[in-house]
Amino acid sequence: MAVRASDCIVIGGGVMGCALALRLAQAGASVLVLEKALPGAEASSAAAGILAAQEEAREPGPLFELGLASRARFPAFAAELRELVGIDVAYRRTGVLAACVDDAGLVALEARFAWQRAAGQRVVTLSADEARVLEPGLGPRIHGALSFPDDAQLEPRAYARALSLAAARAGVTFVTGAWVTRVLDEGERVAGVLAGGERYLAPSVVVAAGSWSSLVDGAGLAPHAVRPLRGQIVELETRPPAVCGTIVSPRGGYVVGRADGRVLCGSTMEEAGWDKVVTAGGMAHVLEVALELVPGLAAAPVTASWANFRPATLDALPLIGPAALAGLFVATGHFRNGILLSAITAELVRDLVLGRTPEFDLTPFAVGRATAASAHKNTGVR
Amino acid sequence: MAVRASDCIVIGGGVMGCALALRLAQAGASVLVLEKALPGAEASSAAAGILAAQEEAREPGPLFELGLASRARFPAFAAELRELVGIDVAYRRTGVLAACVDDAGLVALEARFAWQRAAGQRVVTLSADEARVLEPGLGPRIHGALSFPDDAQLEPRAYARALSLAAARAGVTFVTGAWVTRVLDEGERVAGVLAGGERYLAPSVVVAAGSWSSLVDGAGLAPHAVRPLRGQIVELETRPPAVCGTIVSPRGGYVVGRADGRVLCGSTMEEAGWDKVVTAGGMAHVLEVALELVPGLAAAPVTASWANFRPATLDALPLIGPAALAGLFVATGHFRNGILLSAITAELVRDLVLGRTPEFDLTPFAVGRATAASAHKNTGVR
């Protein structure tokens, strides 16, 4: 039984797929989202929600520009979602502090981010005392920090929920429990997808399946083009709130303070297949990092812990653009920045699907570098 | 409405109260257990279940003797419970290893336990290689260990459940959700208790309320005679089992391996009132201890975590014996050894209630040292 019910099928109901579906529906397209679990069930709900376009960037270039452009959209996007479905995604421009434990660390941080200041972005060097004005709980080992006052945060679970509700309200159809195993073609063109033995037909298909994207047969992605990189988070409760914004440790890892006093302690970076568990070592690591940053967290109750997967690519750049089949597109591989990049990715891929020219040059994110045909060139990069 | 339904009221349905109720019922008494939550809901289910009569002992004396006598009862008691209610409490004589990280540590351990060997107990000194024969997962920092091959373990939750079922099957009545606020008297004699506005009458009453014992008005215990000492445990899953028995760290803390591969990582010792939470600092501590003992646990999934309270007394000895009112008895304050001591305590207090002479001299555990009247003498000890 084949049903041509939509102009576009989106594979994956995470923030990427839902934001795209919303934008497509707002542009008048009929959209079907096929989601293997529930909308937002995976990385979208597991993320810390740090919108760190600056602190996450390691070099100038297209990813940095994409992040800044997407970060700039969030105040309006959050307001739009509140308007559409009444959900506050808790967007807050709390800034991000990159902490260090000695002078050398501060010099290294400054050198690492000098290019951002040169590019006109705000980066502020803080002594330990100055940093403690922003984060009074900073531990005695913290020697100074770089502040990125324009980086922000939101609540990924609220955001994922708002996006799926807004998309549904805009007319998007969701099928949950539908694991897409294959992309169907008509010669050079995409024809639809196969999920749970059902054929869903549409002239456009977008792969937005995060860490599971490479598993979609027929999409043309190499087996390891997108691979799961596990991250673990432990959530604490503090009252009054012990952490104001986001503090990043020189050892990697971070704490994120929510307005209500919850503190997220993250995260690990692990190759563990799809083994979605919190481990003793992961939990010990994120707690150790958190307690060095803010020792006062020691008495805070542990209220939750979870693990999920960042969709990582071989070169750490997302895959955004047309795939080998006409009408087939990819929006995946956003690695550590899926929440941040979802706002702009949705607009860019909407334009691709609708045959418009996206306002951003997508050449650096081209899918060609991650296809089975190109795989032999890239494996050394991993 | 007063109901004289029983010969004896037991306040508290933990392992202490249930084991006692079972023994009383087996001796022909009608028994009523009043439990504020559910049987075994508190420390009884939170304990690690280490039956460390030797490793826990710090000096010769009555507590050591009591622990040995109780430990010796467990093989038969476990068999009896399996017979009575079909529950295997997973009693296993896995031994306890006290690990050290250098030569000095091993010498100190040997000196600390020389008196046990002199007393005829088995204590074996092991090199690191010998210790690794018993526990192949021991980390590189472990330099040697003392082995207590006769110490054992069981599953406290299975044990608590078996005790309450066996007691019920022997005719004991349980009232759950019943918080006893007051002991009632008739002049010099106990008359019953008050719980939830109800009067329960009996000629004998036993306070077996663990950390909550001092809250029972009219029992004559000083306000801090028994106080809650928080312990936190993190449970991991390993397969194949990564820890065979119990390994105690020189920093305090331990890991306990179950037959099915679960590993319990414990524990903290904290004054935190009745704040029954797992904290960031507590979790970090027990994981750090566990990972130093057995580094391979790092990859093990965290399956659960919990906190509860040891009932601690001012001098770390339990309170077992008659109280000020005739017919009123106390069986509480077993601190770190409630599971271990429950078997013998039940027999001793049964004998007291029934007017028999207990087979153990209870003078060292006399309640008089913890009464309101004696409190001024003891506060300095705390």
Residue B361 three-state SS? coil
- Sign of the torsion angle spanned by Cα atoms A288, A306, A340, A268: positive
CA distance B217 to B143: 51
**What does the pLDDT average to over A209-232?**
96
Give me the residues paired with residue B321 across strands. Answer: B330
Under 8 Å CB pairs connecting chains A and B tally to 71
Residue A371's pLDDT band (cuts 50, 70, 90) = confident
Q: Which chain A residues are Cβ-neighbours of B276 within 8 angstroms?
A: none
Cβ(A39)–Cβ(A208) below 8 Å: no
CA distance B373 to B222: 8
User: Tens digit of pLDDT for each residue in B113-126?
Assistant: 999 999 999 999 99
CA distance B346 to B353: 10
At A308, which helix (H) or strand (E)? strand A302-313
Residue B375's pLDDT band (cuts 50, 70, 90) = low
**What does the pLDDT average to over A273-284?**
96
Kindly state whether B290 is in contact with chain A, defined as any CB-CB distance less than 8 angstroms.
yes
Full-model pTM: 0.90
Cβ(A249)–Cβ(A286) below 8 Å: no
Kindly state whether B298 is in contact with chain A, defined as any CB-CB distance less than 8 angstroms.
yes
Cβ(B105)–Cβ(B159) below 8 Å: no
**What does the pLDDT average to over A357-373?**
92
User: Tens digit of pLDDT for each residue in A138-163?
Assistant: 999 999 999 999 999 999 999 999 99
- CB interface of A with B, residues 45-84, below 8 Å: none
CATH architecture of B93-150+227-312: 2-Layer Sandwich (3.30)
Please say if the pLDDT value at position B378 is more than 50. no
Residue of B302, B303, B305 for testing the chain A interface, max A β-carbons within 10 Å: B302
Kindly state whether A298 is in contact with chain B, defined as any CB-CB distance less than 8 angstroms.
yes
Contact B297 A278 (CB under 8 A): no
- The average confidence (pLDDT) of chain A is 95
CA distance B307 to A335: 36
Residue A375's pLDDT band (cuts 50, 70, 90) = low
β-bridge pairing A198-201 and A2-3: parallel
Residue B347's pLDDT band (cuts 50, 70, 90) = very high
- Sign of the torsion angle spanned by Cα atoms B54, B55, B61, B67: negative
The dihedrals phi and psi of B204, each to the nearest 5 degrees, come to: -130, 140
Q: Which residues touch B83 (CB under 8 Å, ≥6 apart)?
A: none
Residue A282's pLDDT band (cuts 50, 70, 90) = very high
Kindly state whether A305 is in contact with chain B, defined as any CB-CB distance less than 8 angstroms.
yes
- CB interface of B with A, residues 309-348, below 8 Å: none
ipTM over 0.90: no
User: Tens digit of pLDDT for each residue in B213-270?
Assistant: 999 999 999 999 999 999 999 999 999 999 999 999 999 999 999 999 999 999 999 9
Please say if the pLDDT value at position A379 is more than 60. no
Structure tokens at B74: 């467990």
User: Tens digit of pLDDT for each residue in A6-55?
Assistant: 999 999 999 999 999 999 999 999 999 999 999 999 999 999 999 999 99
Q: Which chain A residues are Cβ-neighbours of B301 within 8 angstroms?
A: 277-279
CA distance A195 to A36: 9
pLDDT reported for residue A380: 38
CA distance B300 to B17: 36
User: Tens digit of pLDDT for each residue in B289-340?
Assistant: 999 999 999 999 999 999 999 999 999 999 999 999 999 999 999 999 999 9
- What residue segments make up the domains of chain A, in order of their start? 3-46+157-224+315-370, 93-150+227-312
**What does the pLDDT average to over A274-297?**
97
CATH 3.50.50.60 for domain A3-46+157-224+315-370 = yes
**What does the pLDDT average to over A268-296?**
97
CA distance B162 to B299: 33
